Structure 1
Amino acid sequence: MTAPTTVLVWITESTWPACVDAARERAPHDEVVLLHVSDDEVVAAAHDAYAGLLGRGGRPDRDPGGRLEALSGVAAADLLEAAAHRLGRPCELLDHHGRVEDEVVRAADGVDLLICARDGRIDRPGPHSLGRATRFVVDHARCPVLLVWPHGE
């Protein structure tokens, strides 16, 4: 008897439907893990901008970094829930924080397949059809990678 196959699906705001559909079609009996990664640099930039503009006298309760972090968490949970619903079967949900490409490569370590989507311009096939993070993941993941074209939804 063979061990169950684990498929990691990288969920992003703009390409998740195509990735989930690919998992549904190409891995109908495998264990599926849906991964979303929140880039903490955005929250840090908002905090730093607030601190820089108002100096040390700014009120912590008005720091937009905390509000952005809360909103990011809600948005990630909603996105993962929508992806799980579209998948239509039990799956594991992971919400990581950090440098996106590093987190995806780390999460892909030990899985049997990573599904992700091109995130560049569809009308421009070639190297520019992959964004920086996706290019890094494709180059560094230690597992097979299924790269799909996003579809408009």
Structure 2
Amino acid sequence: MRVIAWVVEGTWPACVDAVRAHAPDGAEIVLLHVSGPDVPGLAHGAFAGLLGRGRSEPDPGPRLRDLGGRSAAELLRAAADRLGRPCVREERGGRVEREVVAAAEDAGLLVLARDGDRARLGPHSLGPAARFVVDHAPCPVLLVWPEAAPDLTTIPPPPPSPPRH
């Protein structure tokens, strides 16, 4: 069985702990980090536009891409250390949600953490990328809270009942 843990800044410890608790012995564990193109692309665009006119400084896009790669490698190393068992570290780049779904193509389990509103239960506890992954994953998904789950009293109220005729 191949188990993938989507490693994201801020929520990765919960994913790694869930893998430790739920992945069967002998499973191939993949720690996955995906870097989106947003920050380096925005920096390059700003530089190439108004900020780049008449300046001799280098384009900041490639430097930010390098820094992001180093940060991803450090995050994967920390996750592997916490996991404490053999694993594969995989770095991908591109549209984050689509890369996670593609990586899960042959997986037996995908582990990810809630990344939205963590103060209350409900659909808003998933951000757009996590919602896409949950909706499109081609394998079973284990969705974990990055910290203790909110109290049941935080469940949104039910919708109003339709009027009776």
Common fold by TM > 0.5: yes
Q: Equivalent residue for 1:51?
A: 48
The CA deviation string for residues 74-114 of structure 1, in whole angstroms up to 9 with x for no partner, is 00000000000000011000000001000000000011000
Structure 2 SS opposite 1:135: helix
Q: Equivalent residue for 2:134?
A: 138
| Aligned residue-pair number | 147
**Mapped partners of 2:96, 2:55: distance in 1:** 30
Structure 1 SS opposite 2:135: helix
TM-score normalised to structure 2 length: 0.85
**Mapped partners of 1:27, 1:54: distance in 2:** 49
Q: Equivalent residue for 2:33?
A: 36
Q: Equivalent residue for 2:105?
A: 109
**Mapped partners of 1:32, 1:111: distance in 2:** 10
**Mapped partners of 2:42, 2:51: distance in 1:** 14
The CA deviation string for residues 98-143 of structure 1, in whole angstroms up to 9 with x for no partner, is 0100000000001100000001122121111000000000000110
Deviation at 1:52, TM superposition (A): 0.6
- Give the structure with higher Rg (CA): 2
The structure richer in helix per residue is 1
Q: Equivalent residue for 2:153?
A: none
Greater RCO, 1 or 2 (C-alpha within 8 Å, sep 6+): 1
TM-score normalised to structure 1 length: 0.91
Structure 2 SS opposite 1:62: coil
Q: How does 1:62-77 map to 2 (within 5 A)?
A: 62-77=58-73
Match status 1:149 vs 2:145: yes
Give aligned-pair identity as a percent.
61
Structure 2 SS opposite 1:119: coil
Residue ranges of structure 2 left out of the alignment (5+ in a row): 149-165
**Mapped partners of 2:55, 2:137: distance in 1:** 42
Structure 1 SS opposite 2:16: helix
Residue ranges of structure 1 left out of the alignment (5+ in a row): none
- Note if contact 1:101-1:137 (Cα within 8 Å) is conserved in structure 2: yes
**Mapped partners of 1:28, 1:68: distance in 2:** 38
- Note if contact 1:46-1:64 (Cα within 8 Å) is conserved in structure 2: yes
**Mapped partners of 1:101, 1:58: distance in 2:** 36
**Mapped partners of 2:101, 2:12: distance in 1:** 17
Letter aligned with residue 12 of structure 1: V
